Structure 1
Amino acid sequence: MKSNLQYCVFVTVLLSVLLSAGCVGNASEDSAVSHEKYRTVVDSRGVAVQVPIEIEKVATISDGMIEGVMTSIGVQDTLVGVGSSCLQRNFKYAYETVGGETFIYEDGMNPVTYLNPGIVDLPCFAKSGSAVNYETLASLDPDVVIVRLGSCSLRFIDDESTQKSIETIESLGIPLVVLYGSNCYDDPDVTTISDEICIIGQVFGKEAETTKLAGYLESQTNLINERTKDIPDEEKPDVLIFGASPKARGDGGAGQIFGLDTIESFFIQDIAHAKNGFQESGYFKTVSAEHVLALDPDVIVLCTASGYHPPLELYEAPYYQNLQELSAVKNRRVVALPWSPCNCAKRLEYPIDVMVIAKGTYPEHFEDINLAEWLLDFYQNVYGVDRDTAKELRSAQWMDWTVEGCPTCS
């Protein structure tokens, strides 16, 4: 696997040279003062943005990626407004089985929300399905706005409304740094996530911290890659990412799946070295029960899709009794990814997704990894929290089944 961490170092050095060059020769006093007050950040568009060196107020449009990095590097207190309602909610879901039992999942939330409870009280100036409230954004008077395209509030990079939102924010005269989420690329991979992390580090002058963070995340997926890269093609199981979305069922489908042009497929094929069970293109593609039965994957990985979906839902929910002949269901090879509200683009927790996929696909290759303990180590490394707080984060993402023996998995 390639690494883009060199990008972080290269851009940092390049900007230092450019800024130093701008401070010598016949530069005016005003120009020198300007360089002292601002730093240049090159965002995902390739646009050089002047941001204040002293940043006190930040507004974001993201589902937790930007805010997660800010929390990790200790600048979360500069947040004055957010652009995702999912950062401000505590979620609860309940499922009934054909046997009449009810399973309830409570207090689910984004790790950022748990770590920064005050985020629920911040003004929310954008959310999925609604236009950006520019009046609210302007009233916050932020020093910089950081926007992540691909997040649920600005989901599609080429969408006319997305481009209009960028133009309008820029017209307010506020420095705007634009990030491209992994789903903005034709061939997404984890190095683009590292790029985003490094750009955020440049905004706050925390390049060393974000380079370390991006390196840690990539090291976790590299571990998986090293263990699975030599598995012969004929031994690679078919793995299907499946969103058991109630919206998909309402539209007459069984759920949603992810094709070869998604980061989910990169996780399966390029890191875990299995085979994507859906060898076409498609992102949250709604499919029928007949289609899923025809694919008949060896392993099913349930993702966040208009709600949280544990394996028990696929095994025993009344509305999924038409999928009981699936090999993965009969062999009890269904696993669930962590709760990720507004799951439009991957965030800092993406290595958890890859590890769950890998362990669910090749348990014999990862017998030495206790997922419950690995998760605690992950949260501690990413967010700098103690062990007790890491346990709370594990609970907030509904991953306690790793401790309890997964009572809802069998």
Structure 2
Amino acid sequence: MFKRIPIVVTALLLMFMILAGCGPQATSPGSVLPKTRITDLEGREVEIPVPADKIVAIGPGALRLVCYVNGADKVVGIENVEKQKPTGKPYLLANPELTSKPVIGPGGPDSTPDAEKLASVQPDVIFVASLVDRGHADELQAKTNIPVVVLSYGKLAPFDEDVYKSLQLIGKITGNEKRAGEVVAYLKNCQQDLKARTKDIPEEKKPRVYVGALGMKGAHGIESTQAQYPPFVAINARNVADETGKRGSIMIDREKLLSWDPDIIFIDEAGLGLVQEDYKKNPQFYQSLKAVKTGQLYGQIPYNYYTTNIDTAIADAYYAGKVIYPEQFKDVDPAGKADDIYQFLLGKPVYDQMARDFGGFKKLSLTTP
């Protein structure tokens, strides 16, 4: 009997050690995410759990940037404006499952974040673009007790340092730093390629171009344009609206367009219906334009849907380049290039859907749909 005691004791000791080894792991605080301090685009220092597993993105463009960095699977709620209006937003076409997520607020460029709904989905971090300044970001963070990280598109999207910094910040917080670096490199390569194709063309040899019917908090007619229009800037185009000395969205007088009389006119297809209706009422005005008389009227896919769809803006730049400088862009198939861009940034080629929704890259007629 005495010989058996050590065996029993040994067995009991082993069992105790196994149980003791399991016990602390079940209650260990080691499962709590480690934290790091980051500086957001408002210059705020924020302590974030990394990698964040549950995230939300609010305000114009925030969710888009998250999708570019492969963060869609971490999103636990979306704004109502995203759920109700996915048209024109490639990031939602590529990630339709996002529209089934819980609503975390109304959304929209002039909306107020809903602290209660944001807190209800218990995200590790709230990404926000455009809706808040430094003070309001601090206030939202205090109300929700959730880290708030402010992003920015800067003033020169799609190719803006603030866009690159925002992507890298999202990547760091979500554990997708490698992907963020790849996206930034891709955007910079697109910018370099577009400029390299056009940088040596003398100004006097460039056609004079105009883009009309640009969206600006809603659809507008041909008088709505943009000085320093990003797709034109990217290809060094000779935009007649730049002669105003302004930057950004502007409304011009019809007489101004007649005096400019550009060689080529692009129409934002979100406003094409308004232009066609106006043509029925004022055919003489349009028929007086050189571009209309010579058939130099082209459609652009709208990219201003909840701020800049960076992918579509770049695709528009390549299409505009193909139209304005056919020799320099002879190797580019605009639809194929658009799908290359969508595929890289979003993981899916969605040009066909965008073309079905708006018309796609093509010559336009003002007399037929």
Same fold (TM over 0.5): yes
| Native 8 Å contact 1:257 1:282 kept in 2 | no
- Give the distance between the partners of 2:257 and 2:44, measured in 1 at CA: 43
Q: Counterpart of 1:357 in 2: which secondary structure?
A: helix
**Matched residues, number:** 333
- Give the distance between the partners of 2:38 and 2:57, measured in 1 at CA: 16
Give 1:197's aligned amino acid. Answer: L
**Does the alignment pair 1:45 with 2:61?**
no
Give 1:110's aligned amino acid. Answer: K
User: 1:123 matched to which residue of 2?
Assistant: 103
User: 1:166 matched to which residue of 2?
Assistant: 137
| Native 8 Å contact 2:40 2:149 kept in 1 | yes
**Does the alignment pair 1:272 with 2:235?**
yes
- Give the distance between the partners of 2:175 and 2:218, measured in 1 at CA: 44
Q: Deviations over 1:274-313 (max 9, x none)?
A: 2221122143222222222233222223336xxx134994
User: 2:152 matched to which residue of 1?
Assistant: 180
How far the C-alpha of 1:228 sits from its partner, in A, is: 0.6
User: 1:227 matched to which residue of 2?
Assistant: 197
User: 1:67 matched to which residue of 2?
Assistant: 63
| Native 8 Å contact 1:315 1:324 kept in 2 | no
How far the C-alpha of 1:117 sits from its partner, in A, is: 1.9
User: 1:14 matched to which residue of 2?
Assistant: none
What does 1:200-211 correspond to in 2, within 5 Å? Answer: 200-211=170-181
Give 2:225's aligned amino acid. Answer: I
How far the C-alpha of 1:335 sits from its partner, in A, is: 2.5
Change (3 A) 1:384 1:162: same
How far the C-alpha of 1:86 sits from its partner, in A, is: 4.2
Give 1:111's aligned amino acid. Answer: P
**Does the alignment pair 1:133 with 2:120?**
no
**Does the alignment pair 1:379 with 2:347?**
no
| Native 8 Å contact 2:158 2:310 kept in 1 | no
Q: Can you give the 5+ residue segments of structure 2 that lack an aligned partner in the other structure?
A: 1-28
Q: Can you give the 5+ residue segments of structure 1 that lack an aligned partner in the other structure?
A: 1-31, 91-107, 155-160
Change (3 A) 1:349 1:215: farther
**Does the alignment pair 1:300 with 2:265?**
yes
User: 1:309 matched to which residue of 2?
Assistant: 271
- Give the distance between the partners of 2:31 and 2:322, measured in 1 at CA: 52
**Does the alignment pair 1:113 with 2:92?**
yes
**Does the alignment pair 1:352 with 2:285?**
no
User: 1:21 matched to which residue of 2?
Assistant: none
What does 1:393-404 correspond to in 2, within 5 Å? Answer: 393-395=353-355, 398=358, 401-402=360-361
- Give the distance between the partners of 2:330 and 2:83, measured in 1 at CA: 35
Which residue of 190, 196, 202 maps to 2:166?
196
Change (3 A) 1:224 1:168: same
User: 2:185 matched to which residue of 1?
Assistant: 215
Q: Counterpart of 2:201 in 1: which secondary structure?
A: coil
The TM-score with structure 1 as length reference comes to 0.69
- Give the distance between the partners of 2:236 and 2:216, measured in 1 at CA: 30
- Give the distance between the partners of 2:84 and 2:303, measured in 1 at CA: 13
The TM-score with structure 2 as length reference comes to 0.76
Identity %: 22
Q: Counterpart of 1:241 in 2: which secondary structure?
A: strand
CA RMSD of aligned residues (A): 3.5
How far the C-alpha of 1:226 sits from its partner, in A, is: 1.0
Change (3 A) 1:235 1:60: same
